[in-house]
Amino acid sequence: MAVERAIVAIGANLPRADGTPAIETCRWAAGRLATIPGMRLVAVSSWWESAPIPPDPRSPAYVNGAALLEGETTPETLLAALHAIEEEAGRARPYPNAPRVLDLDLIDLGGRVREAVAPILPHPRAHLRAFVLRPLAELAPDWVHPVLGRPVAALLPGVADQAIRRLGGKGA
């Protein structure tokens, strides 16, 4: 296996069972990413606040960020590790797009393209979400969508109408 770059989106909009706020859960998750066997945490973006997509007036705003990892893994192994971290945080999946204590999405793994087997790569909606593209542009301004062939900077104007604001400095 070759060393590959992985981009993971981090998000949360509910406190954990112990009352830990969403931003602290996101910071905790970034730290947990550093413990995935075979992977090394290279960088974490700034934290951002965004409105739920699709809009849901019952749902609080999300805290979002992204992490850049490098190492040797398979898509299935990395996805399983992300799901284990979500479960450790207390994630429940009552219905699609439900508010959550933690959401970790594998956005890209070494530019691979996979359409039929989980995880689908690149993430099928990454290019449609400001809460993915803004943090991704900080971490990997050279990233090019493997299917669309467009750099992240060229994708950002397409999500300019989505409500998102930077919360603070970089890092976990």
Residue 108 annotated among the catalytic residues of the structure = no
Compute the distance between CA of residue 47 and CA of residue 171 in angstroms, rounded to an integer.
Answer: 8
Given the residues 32, 103, 129, 134, the one annotated as active site = 103
Per the residue annotation, which of 27, 40, 56, 91 is the catalytic one?
91
Selected residue with higher pLDDT from 128 and 117: 128
DSSP 116: S
161 is catalytic: no
Q: pTM of the predicted model, to two decimals?
A: 0.94
User: What residue has token string 């992985």?
Assistant: 6
Please give the structure tokens belonging to residue 67. 């992490």
| pLDDT tens-digit map of 23-35 | 999 999 999 999 9
| Residue 134 contacts residue 156 (beta carbons within 8 Å) | yes
Choice among 27, 100, 129, 134 that is catalytic: 100
- Fold held by 4-170: Alpha-Beta Plaits (3.30.70)
SS (H, E, C) 75-107: HHHHHHHHHHHHHHHCCCCCCCCCCCCCEEEEE
User: Beta-carbon neighbour count of residue 162 at 10 Å?
Assistant: 15
125 noted as active-site residue: no
> Is 134 noted as a catalytic residue in this protein?
no
pLDDT higher for 21 or 168? 21
111, two tokens:
């530019």
Q: Which of 138, 118, 112, 126 is nearest to 6 (CA)?
A: 112
Domain boundaries, the chain: 4-170
Active-site pick, 27, 32, 105, 129? 105
Local structure of residue 122 (DSSP, 8 states): S
